[in-house]
Amino acid sequence: MDVALLVLFAPEGLFFVGLKKHERMKSILIVDDNPNVRSMLQAHLAKRYTADSAEDACAALEMVAKKNYDMIISDIEMGGMSGLDLLPKVIALQPQCAPMLITGYDIDRYIPLAVRNQIGSIMPKSVPFDFFMLDVMVDGLLWGNIFGLKRYLRVGGEVFERLCVKGSSDARSVRDWIVSRFTSRFGDAGDMNLLLDEAITNAVYHAPRNVDGSEKYVEYADVSLLPHEYVFVEYGVDSEKYAISVTDNQGTLNGSVVLDRLSRQVSGVGLRDEGGRGFHIGRIFSDAMVVNIKRLACTEVILMNYFSPQRKASRPLYINEVL
């Protein structure tokens, strides 16, 4: 077998794709004006990738001019050019480079600017730093391996069931079943009732489309989905959180639309918009939200709630789109 490394098992339970012989290791550029953060991220990522670092945007652009990168991870607020302004410049030079932002500030304040620059993944500098989610997102963006609730659960985590929603009546029963399971296990399901309502309803009524692109079904009417329109719901738990995923096999959204809808809701200008309410509620009532998209194939929304109050404060947002 012409393989230099078949499988690497990371400490948190992630399996990384092996390299074929003569295939280069993926390369990442880390940009942060805080030397402690910069060295911390570089040391961690260098275990699996070629990891370089730059202290500011100017230094990063000089490096990009000399070397190709598969991914760039940049702080937002830095002296001189911000990460929000840097990443579009890098992508213009190297379109294959996957972008990710990190920040120590409230992520919601940057969503409108992220829309302008078409950057969907924003990770908080939480204390302690969440290296598990960093590994999950970096691996997903580099290899296109983003779907499935299991990969967002720590080692030892469990996906209990994968349920099929065949219509509006199933949506209610699936919601009630999952809420009852979480309640029996933890004594309380938190806001999962509301989150499931919005996520499943959006998938049932808004994902299926007519040939002309218009929505196929009328919201709140009874709906029986065709087999290729079925919606799938997973739910599970690990040592730090419980989570759900809602997946449609339509893929009618794209990352730009999701970002724009969230931005309009966060800023307040789109509170009466028909679209975006479900994403906004997911953002408000979950501790972390992931939206994974493969155009015309699949849209997956993952919503997570943490047990620790400390983890509830950071509220990361990840919008990933693969070809």
Least confident range from 3-12, 85-94, 156-165, 279-288: namely 3-12
Angle at 121 between CA 115 and CA 127, to 5 degrees: 125
Confidence check: pLDDT of 80 > 50: yes
Confidence check: pLDDT of 273 > 90: no
Mean pLDDT of the region 43-47: 96
Least confident range from 18-27, 98-107, 204-213, 248-257: namely 18-27
Least confident range from 1-10, 33-42, 120-129, 263-272: namely 1-10
For position 5, what pLDDT does the model report? 31
Alpha helices in the chain (DSSP H): 35-45, 57-66, 83-93, 111-117, 131-143, 168-186, 192-206, 255-267, 277-285, 309-312
- Tell me the CA end-to-end span of the chain in Å, nearest whole number: 28
Confidence check: pLDDT of 261 > 90: no
90, 35, 101, 45: which is closest to 63 by C-alpha? 90
Kindly indicate the confidence band of residue 309, based on its pLDDT and cuts at 50, 70 and 90: confident
Least confident range from 11-15, 94-98, 142-146, 212-216: namely 11-15
User: DSSP string spanning 200-252?
Assistant: HHHHHHHS-B-TTSSBSS-TTS--B--GGG-EEEEEEE-SSEEEEEEEES---
215, 199, 216, 204: which is closest to 168 by C-alpha? 204
User: Percent of the chain having pLDDT more than 90?
Assistant: 61
Q: Give the whole-angstrom CA distance, residue 25 versus residue 279.
A: 36
Kindly indicate the confidence band of residue 203, based on its pLDDT and cuts at 50, 70 and 90: very high
Classify 3 as helix, strand or coil: strand
Kindly indicate the confidence band of residue 278, based on its pLDDT and cuts at 50, 70 and 90: confident
Kindly indicate the confidence band of residue 243, based on its pLDDT and cuts at 50, 70 and 90: very high
Q: Give the whole-angstrom CA distance, residue 144 versus residue 128.
A: 27
Average pLDDT, the chain: 87
Confidence check: pLDDT of 22 > 60: no
Q: Please give the structure tokens belonging to residue 1.
A: 């077998």
Of 109 and 76, more confident: 76
Neighbour-count burial of 105, counting CB atoms closer than 10 A to its CB (0-12 exposed, 13-18 middle, 19+ buried): exposed
Among 125-129, 135-139, 273-277, the range of highest mean pLDDT: 135-139
CB 161 within 8 A of CB 185: no
Mean pLDDT of the region 60-77: 96
Kindly indicate the confidence band of residue 254, based on its pLDDT and cuts at 50, 70 and 90: confident
Could you tell me the pTM of the whole model?
0.88
Mean pLDDT of the region 284-310: 91
For position 240, what pLDDT does the model report? 93
Confidence check: pLDDT of 1 > 70: no
